Each structure stands twice: as C-alpha cells, then as structure tokens.
Amino acid sequence: MLAQRPTDNDASSNHLQGVPLRTSTLPIPARALLHGGFIGASSALLIAAFGTDCFYYTTSLSQWSNFSAWLICVGLIIMLIALILLMIDFAAGRARRLNMVSFALVLAAGLLSLVNAFVHSRDAWTSVVPDGILLSAVSAILLVAAGARGWSLALSRAAGDGL
C-alpha cells in the first residue's frame, strides 16, 4: 500500500504529512492552593520545637530552650501567613470549602503553640519542664495527624479532589 502525499489543504486542516494532529480534550487544571506549603513549613518548625525541648530536657543546656522559643515563634509567624493565604484562596475562588478535620487539628495545634510561646518566655528550666515539653508534644501529635491527612486545609476546585 502506498502512502498518500499530503496536499496543501491537508496541512492547513490540522494534518501534518497525512497524520492528523491530536488536540487535547483534557480540562484546564485548576490553580493550586497557596496555603499548603506554608502549613507544612510551620508544622515542621513546631514539630522541631518538640525535638529541641527533648534535647533540653536531657542535656540541660539552655541554648536548646532558646532554639525552642525561636522555632515556636517563627512557626507561628509562618502559620499566620498560611492563614492569610487560606483566606486569599477562598477570596480568589481556588478553594471550594474548608476541610474541617484538618483545619481543627491545625487550629488546635496553633493555639497550643501560642500558649507554648508564652510558656517558653520564662526562665530556661521552667519554660520547658514540664509545661513546655507537654505543650510541644501535644502540638506535634496534632500536626503529624494533620500532615497524615495532607497539608491542605481546604478542598480545591480541581476535578477529582478526594480530600
């Protein structure tokens, strides 16, 4: 069987050398939510604060207490940025509705971390033992549970979003 030679009309009508060009029928993907990465980053810092509290408890080196206080403060600042980006996601129409379980876990961990920031403002030993390390542990557990569900606090408008 002989191959057909393309004509000028074939090339102008989505054919290239006798083979039709494929056009995409896939929907245009929705834009990603903005807040997810910031929730993950703040959670990593707050979980790391639990680690530095444990180091301080075992070594009694006061710099570990300072590290914990810094990690908690920076983690809370980044969590505030994530909250602002979550509101932008809703205002821009990227988010469809709030994922209540993940939001409740992160909110509870954020509030406990805020209390923990005030606890860590005391002198070294009393800032960590026993209140600070307990608050850090509970916050870390809540954030690990939220991370297991995914870092998004809202359901996106993307098709097939099964959160």
Q: Predicted confidence band at 126 (pLDDT cuts at 50, 70, 90)? A: confident
Q: Measured over all CA atoms, what is the biggest interatomic distance in the chain, rounded to whole angstroms?
A: 89
For residues 45-62, average pLDDT: 95
The one-character DSSP state at 98 is: E
pLDDT at 52: 96
Q: What is the pTM of this model?
A: 0.76
pLDDT at 139: 97
Contact (CB, 8 A) for 139 and 113: yes
Query: Does residue 41 or residue 158 have the better pLDDT?
Result: 41
Cα separation of 126 and 63, whole Å? 14
Residue 28 confidence (pLDDT) above 50: no
